Amino acid sequence: MAHYILRRLLLLPITLFFIVVVNFAIINMAPGEPTSVTEISPGGEARRQENGAVTGDERYLQFRERYGLTLPILFNTWPNLSQEYVKATLETFLQKKEYSFKHLQDLRTRLGDQGKFIMPKLAHVMESPDSLWPMKKEAMRFFVRGGTRQAVLGGNLTDKQRNENREISKQNLFLREHLPSHLDTEQNLQAKILALSSWYQKNQSRFEPTLWQKFGIFFTETRFFRYFSRVLTLDFGTLRDDPTKTVVSEVISRFKYSLTLSVTPLIITFFLCLFFGFLMALNHNSLLDHGLNTLFLILYAIPIFVVAPFLIEEVAMKFGWPFSGFTSPESIYEQETSLQRLFDIARHIFLPIVAIMYGSLATQTRLARTAVLEVAKQDYVRTARAKGLTPSTVVSRYIGRNASITIVTAIAGSLGVILGGSLIVETLFEIDGFGKFFYDAVLNRDYNVIMFSAIAGSFLALVGYLLADIAYMLLDPRVSLE
């Protein structure tokens, strides 16, 4: 068994890695970004509407840089883009009437992101005597975007980082001053091009990577590499709207709520479904069996968004049962003894737990009934009865243990839903758990929170299946993990 567990533990990070890759790709390929883009500047720096005011290009670009949204998802082939591609894309912006606004908007954002990887091509268009002035002006805008760097952010910067930020600010100011304007004459534009060309010659090594550097850029200058390199250090990032709060700290603050609302119904469901499953199977085709079977079928068919409001209106409000929050208000909760607090929590979570577990209880009970009936027909059970063993011994030692394997299999993957919470229940009962937290993250396009949910949920599911395999061996001596 030790060898089997070791193999599974070695395969776990590999499996988790591919799960992360697939989830990361799907999330990042979804249309849109974590912001609502309302305007794209000529240089490809996107702006967004915020409380009726348009934020500056630099501020929004910093946001996109922090999330790695200016990079390709998995592989970076942008340094290999051809001169023909750059020229054809710039010509597209000169033919605005032939394309939709959204197409031009997306194209500007993409070419702006590609700017620092195609600087030689932009410089060629900008300096070429064959290029028309409108084309040169477009190339200059994207050239400035490509050369612009973002300062190092944070409150504990070193002297080296502060000096670097000063140099970045100085160069960015120089580039912005040489952006083309509609008031510029041809002489002014030519002077700006010469100044930008001179600047490029001094910083040429930054923008013309060698073959080996291109190979490194192919893997490292991507969204996934930046994200996964942080995950390896257990840094899951910060919240989209509040960089001072980390994802892990926010999850931990909600841990006691969702853990209680996930694990408690899981344990209760396991024992209740076995009890009712055995009761129905041992009274097969009786009135009790048909009655319970019909009851659980009805429960299975009723959606949770019907049951939860029913419990609030017909049980909580009529009988004075608490239905809001995890505990009483702090002013009351702080004055209670430990036993009173335990009872207070139990009263508050009773209805949410009922709302969460009734559906799975109905499903698992019917599954347990089928498993018990199937095991009861096996030869070894008939042999045990023929030996004269008592019914209780046959049920506990021969039927119960083997029938439990089916239930363990069904429940094994349920560990993964611990971090999923129950959105409807938590919302209606005003419990600030994982369900509402992750749902808000999806609406808010908070990639860090969404990815943490996928990683943690997948990890717990894989651990659950490993524990299920170990449970098989403990329940059935015939099962060998070697």
Nearest to 421, CA basis, from 333, 353, 324, 344: 353
- Residues with Cβ < 8 Å from 44, sequence gap 6 or more? 108, 109, 110, 111, 112, 113, 115, 141, 142, 145
Provide the CB-side half-sphere exposure for 430 (13 A, CA). 9
The structure's pTM equals 0.75
Q: What distance in Å separates the CA atoms of residue 415 and residue 464, rounded to the nearest whole number?
A: 6
Specify whether the CB–CB gap between 133 and 184 falls below 8 A.
no
Domain boundaries, the chain: 35-231, 247-475
The CATH number of the structural domain formed by 247-475 is 1.10.3720.10
> What one-letter code names the amino acid at 409?
T
pLDDT the model gives residue 50: 40
The full 3-state SS of the chain, as one line of letters, equals CHHHHHHHHHHHHHHHHHHHHHHHHHHHHCCCCCCCEEEECCCCCEEEEECCEECCHHHHHHHHHHCCCCCCCCCCCHHHCCHHHHHHHHHHHCCHHHCCHHHHHHHHHHHHHHHHHCHHHHHHHHHCCCCCHHHHHHHHHHHHHHHCCCCCCCCCCCHHHHHHHHHHHHHHHHHHHCCCCCCCCHHHHHHHHHHHHHHHHHCHHHHCCCHHHHHHHHHHCCHHHHHHHHHCCCCCCECCCCCCCEHHHHHHHHHHHHHHHHHHHHHHHHHHHHHHHHHHHHCCCCHHHHHHHHHHHHHHHCCHHHHHHHHHHHHHHHHCCCCCCCCCCHHHHCCCCHHHHHHHHHHHHHHHHHHHHHHHHHHHHHHHHHHHHHHHCCHHHHHHHHCCCCHHHHHHHHHHHHHHHHHHHHHHHHHHHCCCCCHHHHHHCCCCCHHHHHHHHHHCCCHHHHHHHHHHHHHHHHHHHHHHHHHHHHHCCCCCCC
Please tell me the distance from the alpha carbon of residue 367 to that of residue 362, in angstroms, as a whole number: 9
CA 171 vs. chain centroid, Å, equals 37
Residues 67-126: tens digit of each pLDDT: 778 899 999 999 999 999 999 999 998 887 777 888 888 888 889 899 999 999 999 999
Q: What is the pLDDT of residue 242?
A: 78
Residues of the chain with pLDDT under 70: 32-60, 62, 153-155, 410-421, 475-482
Site of tokens 């347990």? 368
